[in-house]
Amino acid sequence: MEINMRSEDIEYITEKLKKKLTPGRFTHTMGVAYTAACMAMRFGEDMEKAYIAGLLHDCAKCISDEEKIKKCEQNGIEISPSEYANPSLLHAKLGAWYAWNKYDIHDEQICSAIRYHTTGRPAMTKLEKIIFVADYIEPNRNKAPDLDRIRNVCFENLDMGVMTIAEATLKYIENSGEAIDNMTADTFEYYSKAVNGNIAGTADQQ
């Protein structure tokens, strides 16, 4: 189902995010929104939903770890052991909750794309894949190695893009010493099989 947002509503969300996020995070946010909209054009997804999901994906990012835990506990959002050990991961779950409850985006697909944008998950929807990938490749990102190649891969084949980014993220977090959420490893495994043709029904991105 389409969401048909009014341009005033999109402007309102954008202005609110500008206040809630640091300038760097806001720039990244706009990059993800535009990249997600481009990927939606490329892969036949709803452009407006991709833009809104990109806009809101980090809406809970600029909150202290203590506050993230508190807000999750207050609102009945379950916290896993790896999230207690690495509360920064909670911005994705909490962001999905904020999108629904504070920004009034009553759309399961958008909120789920926000929910899984950091770790990914096996068998993602097309919109979830687009936000997972757009977060990594948007034009303001410049620290990850091999980004030009990864950007090409993502626009060529969405599943291969997800696999490549999950693999790069795993390498990065293995060296960071932070508590690891196993969902990214599950995502990598699933999409390795998908690109090698061992899982049926995921080739909607060719």
Ligand X SMILES: Nc1ncnc2c1ncn2[C@@H]1O[C@H](COP(=O)(O)OP(=O)(O)O)[C@@H](O)[C@H]1O
Residues at the interface with ligand X (CB under 6 A): 58, 61, 86, 89, 117-119, 135, 169, 172-173, 178, 180-181, 183-184
Kindly tell me which of 61 and 126 has the beta carbon lying closer to ligand X.
61
Kindly tell me which of 9 and 16 has the beta carbon lying closer to ligand X.
16
Q: How far is the C-alpha of 146 from the C-alpha of 77, rounded, in Å?
A: 36
Kindly tell me which of 89 and 163 has the beta carbon lying closer to ligand X.
89
Neighbours of 90 (CB within 10 A): 24
Query: Tell me, what amino acid is at 74?
Result: Q
Contact between 205 and 158 under an 8 Å Cβ cutoff? The reply is yes
Give the nearest distance from C-beta 184 to ligand X in angstroms.
3
Q: How far is the C-alpha of 144 from the C-alpha of 168, rounded, in Å?
A: 8
Kindly tell me which of 44 and 140 has the beta carbon lying closer to ligand X.
140
Angle between helices 108-115 and 90-101 (to 10 degrees): 160
Give the nearest distance from C-beta 8 to ligand X in angstroms.
27
